[in-house]
Amino acid sequence: MAHIADSIIQDLKEGNERFLAGTSIHSSEISLKRLKEFSQKGQVPKAIVLCCSDSRAPVEMIFDQGIGDLFVIRVAGNIVAPSLVGSVEFAASTFGTSLVLVMGHSKCGAITATLNHIATCEAISSSNIHAIVSRIKPHIYSLTQVKGLDGDELHKRSVEANVIAAVDQLSNSSSRMIEELLQQEKLKIVGGVLDLDSGAVNFLNF
């Protein structure tokens, strides 16, 4: 339901503000207590987060959320692939989670690798890494053809474009189940970008 998802977005924004202010409320003692409770009664995550695997982007800490609050799906470049779509489907259908956040971040290595590949046309040594790059490339290639973009601005826009593309893929072409949940207003999918320099998350409006 859209209104529930909107309140969860606000909750995540407030958690990020606490994180930035150094006033996070989730201690290890509280987390351990919640872990024991959830191990007995099962999980009820408030949001699904598809994000990058980067070690500098610990989602629960950034949003000041506790154990059991977020169903986190991590993959380099926050790409959309069948197993990841299946993970979103699983959480949305099993737990009734009403919000999906696709979160990219600044200084993303997967974006950098893709931009380098476009610029040099050099083959990527690992077929598995190539599989990641090949999913990002179509979403950012047009930006590399824009004259006057310096390296930092190109990377920033590429991160955002990759997030927007992932939101679009999840919303329109990856899953009949997800499409139906969206049509029934039981699910909302949004995008955001984490700034590693500040720790702030910017929710994208598009």
Sole residue written with tokens 């779509």: 85
- The H or E element containing residue 187 is none
Is pLDDT of 2 > 70? Answer: no
Give the Cα separation of 162 and 149 in Å (integer).
17
pLDDT in tens, 87-140: 999 999 999 999 999 999 999 999 999 999 999 988 898 999 999 999 999 999
- What's phi and psi for 71, nearest 5 deg? -100, 100
2-204 has which fold?
Beta-carbonic Anhydrase; Chain A (3.40.1050)
Structure confidence by residue, pLDDT tens digits, 22-32: 999 987 777 78
pTM score, whole prediction: 0.93
Domain ranges in the chain are: 2-204
Q: Name the more confident of 45 and 31.
A: 45
Three-state secondary structure readout of 128-145: HHHHHHHHHHHHHHHHHC
**CA–CA separation, 158 vs 96, rounded Å?**
32
User: pLDDT value at position 206?
Assistant: 62
